[in-house]
Amino acid sequence: MPRTRKELEQIEREILAPFVALVMKRMSQQSTFEQAVRAGLAGILTSPEFIFLRETPGKLNDFALASRLSYFLWSSTPDDELLAAATAGKLSDPAALREQAERMLRSPKHAAFTTNFLGQWLGMRDIDFTEPSGRLYPEFDEMLKASMLRDIERGSITEAEHILGDMANRARTLGVDTPLLDLARAHVAAYEIGRQRVAS
């Protein structure tokens, strides 16, 4: 398993090497730069390594835990501290995993969790798939749509953040092993908020 970001970058270079070679080959065959890059991108997008997640069955290792935790809470790659904990093999310890989860929840990055969560569950990302009738709703325009989304986001995220914080506090009080259990419960509560808002 990779130990540092430098090693990860080296692995990425090794993975990309055949596709870079394909681009260079097409260039040497008098293809245009665009045609060569298109061939390289097509190779990347159709490669099994891109399409499928290949993992060994069984217990997750520390790097798999770090990746899941980071994408779940931050919608992003693990930071240096989380990678360092994975490198040291600490994330297999429930107490250390909890400590990292709590740290990540305190970070401003965790706003991505509530934003993406609500965006999916409330369907706000699909607002452009339909358009209200101009005859029935003549006042509807792009500015109103933007205001609607902003108001829903502000209100729902505030309420969801309150629920997440309350759940985390209860977990600490009750001595729950991991705050992720409370996040799962908060999913249901946040969904109910969103459903009620849509219904009203």
Residue 189 and residue 153 in one domain: yes
Residue 177 and residue 163 in one domain: yes
What does the pLDDT look like over 151-166, one tens digit per residue? Answer: 766 665 556 556 656 6
Residue 30 and residue 63 in one domain: no
Q: Domain tally for the chain? A: 3
Residue 113 and residue 131 in one domain: yes
Residue 189 and residue 121 in one domain: yes
Residue 8 and residue 35 in one domain: yes
Query: How many CB atoms are closer than 10 A to CB 139?
Result: 7
Range of the domain at 175: 109-199
Residue 49 and residue 114 in one domain: no
117 closest CA partner among 186, 62, 67, 177: 186
Contacts 24+ apart (CB under 8 A), 144-152: 149/124, 152/118, 152/122, 152/124, 152/197
- pTM, whole model, 2 decimals? 0.55
Residue 193 and residue 159 in one domain: yes
What does the pLDDT look like over 22-37, one tens digit per residue? Answer: 999 999 999 999 999 9
What does the pLDDT look like over 82-126, one tens digit per residue? Answer: 999 998 999 989 889 888 988 888 888 877 777 777 777 777 777
Residue 193 and residue 119 in one domain: yes
What pLDDT score does 195 carry?
A: 45
Residue 114 and residue 194 in one domain: yes
CA separation for the pair 46, 8 (Å, rounded): 22
Per-residue DSSP letter, 194: H
Residue 69 and residue 93 in one domain: yes
